[in-house]
Amino acid sequence: MSGGRAAALLLVGVLIGGISGGAAATYLVSRYGPQAAVTPSSGSVLPLPTAAPAGSAVDQETVGVVQDLLPSVVTVINYASNGEPQSSGSGFVVDDRQGYIITNNHVVEDTRTAGAGNAFDVVFATDKKVQAKLVGRDPFTDIAVLQVPAQGLKAAVLANSDEVPIGSIAVAIGSPLGEFQNTVTVGVVSAKGRRVAESQQVVLEDLIQTDAAINPGNSGGPLIWAARRQVIGVNTLVASNATGLGFAISSNTVRQIADELIKNGKVVRGFIGVQYQQLTPRQAAQLGLPAGTTGIIVTQVVSGSPAERTGIRANDIITKVNDQAIDAEHPLATVMVKFRPGDRVKLTLIRDGKEMTVDVTLGQPPQ
């Protein structure tokens, strides 16, 4: 009720109190909620209502998450070679002993090239700013690791993202638009296992979908499972032309990739050793292949590669890796993201119109 209307009702109660004070008091109690009954005497004023205790269980849960994890969240500033800031995003501390910070690859990229930015600062919730060095980054999963001096840090815990139930309360913390540091938004875990194309070359897998508001600048910040106060994902993108469709890279993916980046400075993926082009529907029809056939056409086999040792030839059409079909939604580069040198995979291919399978032990990519 607005202050003016409440005052008007109080005034009416006073003016007609001598005539129908009981009725007026009953009306005011019903509007404001339960409180002690008051029988006004002539000339008295009814007391203002007392608000009920604030803070639902969800409120308390969210407040606890913020108090616990806000010190772990940082703003990441990316500088160009001329020393000027070129972009910013978010991140969070995952190792307080060694100073490791997780963020997105696209937060640390040079905005003009596919390379990394020239220098980085991180700003903590206390406004403390320190220089950070880039440990490593992986464009295929959009994960990067920075390192800062390990002084007075508080680390967030990475949860097992497979365990979080759909519908769980999720809290996102970050610095949207690079200006609104320490912004907190709340939603739920809307879905798990989503896959979204970040670009024509990169399709991100095993994403957590949330309706917690995620805006430019939130990238790299944590998505937190409120009930456990643990990070279940790294906020990375939103669906265009949609509301409440945000996505975070699952913490299980983050853990695997971050460990490799910290150990090697990069992620080394298994190497087949073929150059290729995508099979188009027109080419498939010209080759007399069944309608709906998808895959890649091998244009060249790298000398000394696993492909050459296995007997793969130019003009072979590779349609599957293990049981995963290669198509527009599952390009070969994305399918190979989870494989490492030494892994053994089964390739399904078509040669001279006949389907066959070969086993390939993946190698190290050439330096």
Q: Catalytic: which of 121, 138, 142, 327?
A: 142
DSSP secondary structure code for residue 114 in this structure: S
Please tell me whether residues 301 and 333 are part of one structural domain. yes
Radius of gyration of the chain (CA): 29
Q: Catalytic: which of 72, 88, 90, 106?
A: 106
Reply yes or no on whether 219 is catalytic.
yes
Residue 36 is assigned to a structural domain of this protein: yes
Q: What is the pLDDT of residue 36?
A: 39
Report the predicted TM-score, pTM, of the whole model to 2 decimal places: 0.76
Reply yes or no on whether 330 is catalytic.
no
CA separation for the pair 245, 235 (Å, rounded):
11
Please tell me whether residues 238 and 292 are part of one structural domain. no
Q: Domain range for residue 177? A: 163-251
Please tell me whether residues 47 and 71 are part of one structural domain. no
pLDDT in tens, 298-353: 999 999 999 999 999 999 999 999 999 999 888 888 888 889 999 999 999 999 99
Q: Catalytic: which of 219, 250, 251, 305?
A: 219
Checking DSSP bridges between strand 169-174 and strand 119-124, what pairing results, if any?
unpaired
Please tell me whether residues 111 and 75 are part of one structural domain. yes
CA separation for the pair 232, 222 (Å, rounded):
8
Residue 301 is assigned to a structural domain of this protein: yes
CATH number of the domain within which 288 lies? 2.30.42.10
Reply yes or no on whether 142 is catalytic.
yes
Instruction: Say which residues have a Cβ less than 8 Å from residue 327's Cβ, sequence separation at least 6.
Output: 294, 295
Whether the Cβ atoms of residue 353 and residue 288 lie closer than 8 Å to each other: yes
Residue 9 is assigned to a structural domain of this protein: yes
The domain total for the chain is 4
- In the block, which residue shows the tokens 């390939």? 360
Name the residue among 231, 245, 79 with its Cα closest to residue 143. Answer: 231
Please tell me whether residues 18 and 84 are part of one structural domain. no
Tell me the three state secondary structure of residue 105: helix
Please tell me whether residues 300 and 225 are part of one structural domain. no
Please tell me whether residues 48 and 75 are part of one structural domain. no
Whether the Cβ atoms of residue 204 and residue 196 lie closer than 8 Å to each other: yes
Tell me the three state secondary structure of residue 190: strand
Residue 232 tokens read as 């279940």
Tell me the three state secondary structure of residue 220: coil
Residue 300 tokens read as 């060249």
Phi first, then psi: what are they for 257, rounded to 5°? -70, -40
Tell me the three state secondary structure of residue 324: strand
Residue 155 is assigned to a structural domain of this protein: no
In 189-267, alpha helices (H): 251-264
Checking DSSP bridges between strand 296-301 and strand 274-278, what pairing results, if any?
antiparallel
Residue 157 is assigned to a structural domain of this protein: no
Instruction: Say which residues have a Cβ less than 8 Å from residue 76's Cβ, sequence separation at least 6.
Output: 88, 89, 90, 91, 101, 103, 107, 108, 120, 121, 122, 132, 146, 220
Whether the Cβ atoms of residue 178 and residue 212 lie closer than 8 Å to each other: no
Q: What is the pLDDT of residue 3?
A: 42
Q: What is the pLDDT of residue 123?
A: 95
pLDDT in tens, 179-210: 788 899 999 999 999 988 887 778 898 999 99
Please tell me whether residues 325 and 357 are part of one structural domain. yes
Q: What is the pLDDT of residue 341?
A: 94
CA separation for the pair 312, 299 (Å, rounded):
11
Domain boundary among 115, 147, 179: 147
Instruction: Please list the residues that pair with 225 across neighbouring strands.
Output: 170, 230
Residue 156 is assigned to a structural domain of this protein: no
CATH number of the domain within which 181 lies? 2.40.10.10
Render each residue's pLDDT in the chain as its tens digit; 367 residues.
434 433 333 323 332 233 333 333 332 333 223 333 344 455 567 777 665 555 566 678 889 999 999 999 999 999 999 999 999 999 999 999 999 999 999 999 998 888 999 999 999 999 999 999 999 999 999 999 999 999 899 999 999 999 999 999 999 999 988 778 889 999 999 999 998 888 777 889 899 999 999 988 899 999 999 999 999 999 999 887 778 899 999 999 999 999 999 999 999 999 999 999 999 999 999 999 998 999 999 999 999 999 999 999 999 999 999 999 999 888 888 888 889 999 999 999 999 999 999 999 999 988 7
Residue 367 is assigned to a structural domain of this protein: no
Please tell me whether residues 177 and 243 are part of one structural domain. yes
Domain boundary among 96, 115, 147: 147
CA quadruple 26, 31, 36, 42: dihedral, nearest 10? -50
Residue 61 is assigned to a structural domain of this protein: no
